[in-house]
Amino acid sequence: MELLDLANESQMSEFNEFARRYGEFMQSPCWGNVKRGWLCEGVISRGDDKSIRAVCLVLVKKTPLISLMYAPRGFIGEVSESAFNDILEGTKILAKKYRSVAFLFDPRVSEADEPDFFKKYRSENIRPIQPCENVILDLADTYEETERGFKSDYRNRIHKALNRGVRLEIHDEEAVDEFYALYEETGKRNGFPVREKEYFMQMLSAFGNDCKIFLCRSKEGEPLSAAVGLCFGSRFTYVYGASSSQNRNLYPCYLCTAK
């Protein structure tokens, strides 16, 4: 077991590439650059050949007296007792360092695939922290092949959006203001708290070309819907979505999510 040295570029790169292999952007050290107000730490478990077999990015929220540790979508890697014991050993060292009262983690571990892990470590009162995926779509096929798997009304609304002049654009930081205006409107309409605009700026900056804003406009150029998407390793994640209350008959959200 070893702790991540944030000043060690080689180790940081190795850690990040391991997270990329599993497609878990929230286990990348880059995520620590997004979560301002949290300290970033990491635990590494190595096998007999010294290669990484499991990692756990740990975010630490400090208060004047105590702290809370959280590993979003972690740990990742080999699901074995020895690897997990390494992760626990490292988190115990961090807990002592930061006087942490709790360690929250939610690995993307399937009970069907790893029944022994769940039997040993899961309690009945434990629930997932991150939202469960509604859809996991295999993108190995061409778009045309993927689209044939959609429901017919979904396909029809995508084509209606195109026929009615809706166009999709892919942007970097220059579209943050337009995305954020739609995002605030969506939060007000649906009654959920919104993050500050700086949060999205940090995400785009931390992940660079892997993170994009997808923006749908009407033929007159009016922003209709938008999404923040992040491609990390072999997984593309639809992270945030937003839409206008106007011109919903143009079906911009269907085009934005499909394309």
Q: What is the pLDDT of residue 112?
A: 66
Nearest to 199 by CA among 214, 211, 185: 211
Both tokens assigned to 138: 């295999």
Do 143-258 and 2-121 fall under one CATH topology? Answer: yes
Cβ-count burial of 9 within 10 angstroms (0-12 exposed, 13-18 middle, 19+ buried)? exposed
Identify whether the C-beta of residue 229 lies closer than 8 Å to the C-beta of residue 214: yes
Domain assignments of the chain as residue spans, ordered by start: 2-121, 143-258
CA distances from 243 to 86, 163, 186, 248, 258 (A): 44, 19, 6, 9, 15
Torsion of CA 49, 235, 190, 154, to 10 degrees: -150
The neighbouring-strand residues paired with 229 are 212, 238
Pick the CATH number of 143-258 from 3.40.50.300, 3.90.79.10, 3.40.630.30, 3.90.950.20: 3.40.630.30
Nearest to 38 by CA among 11, 72, 10: 72
From first to last of the 259 residues of the chain, give the pLDDT tens digit. 999 999 999 999 999 999 999 999 999 999 999 998 999 999 999 999 999 999 999 999 998 889 999 999 999 999 888 999 999 999 999 999 999 999 998 888 766 667 777 666 666 555 666 666 667 777 767 778 888 888 889 889 999 999 999 999 999 999 999 999 999 999 999 999 999 999 999 999 999 999 999 999 999 999 999 999 999 998 999 999 999 999 999 989 988 876 6
What is the rounded CA–CA span in Å between residue 89 and residue 68?
A: 17
Q: What is the pLDDT of residue 123?
A: 61
Walk across the sheet containing 235-243 and list its strands. Answer: 167-171, 211-217, 223-232, 235-243
Task: Please state the CATH superfamily assignment of the domain spanning residues 2-121 in this structure.
Answer: Gcn5-related N-acetyltransferase (GNAT) (3.40.630.30)
Q: What is the pLDDT of residue 126?
A: 59
The alpha carbon of 149 is separated from its chain's Cα centroid by a whole number of angstroms, namely 25
What is the rounded CA–CA span in Å between residue 3 and residue 42?
A: 6
